[in-house]
Amino acid sequence: MNINFTKYTDGLVPAIVQDANTKNVLMLGFMNQAAVDTTLAEGKVTFYSRSKNRLWTKGEESGNFLNYISMALDCDEDTLLIQANPEGPVCHMGTDTCWGEDNNSSMAFLNKLEQIIAERKNADPSSSYVASLFAKGINKIAQKVGEEAVEMVIEAKDNNEQLFLDESADLLFHYLILLQSKGYQLADVTKVLAQRHKP
What is the C-alpha separation between 81 and 88, in angstroms, rounded? 20
In a domain, 95, yes or no: no
Shared domain for 70 and 133, answered yes or no, is no
The per-residue pLDDT for range 37-89, each reduced to its tens digit, is 999 999 999 999 999 999 999 999 999 999 999 999 999 999 999 999 999 99
Q: For position 21, what pLDDT does the model report?
A: 83
Q: For position 18, what pLDDT does the model report?
A: 97
Q: Residues 6-24, buried b or exposed e (16+ Cβ, 10 A)?
A: eeeeeebbebbbbbbbbeb
Kindly give the parts of the chain with pLDDT less than 50: none
Going by their DSSP bridges, the two strands 13-19 and 25-31 should be labelled as antiparallel
Q: For position 106, what pLDDT does the model report?
A: 65
Q: Residue type at 104?
A: N
- Which element (helix H / strand E) includes 16? strand 13-19
Shared domain for 69 and 122, answered yes or no, is no
| Full residue range of the structural domain in which residue 71 is found | 13-86
Q: For position 199, what pLDDT does the model report?
A: 74
In the chain, how many domains are there?
2
In a domain, 91, yes or no: no
Q: For position 9, what pLDDT does the model report?
A: 76
Chain-centroid distance of CA 188 in Å reads 16
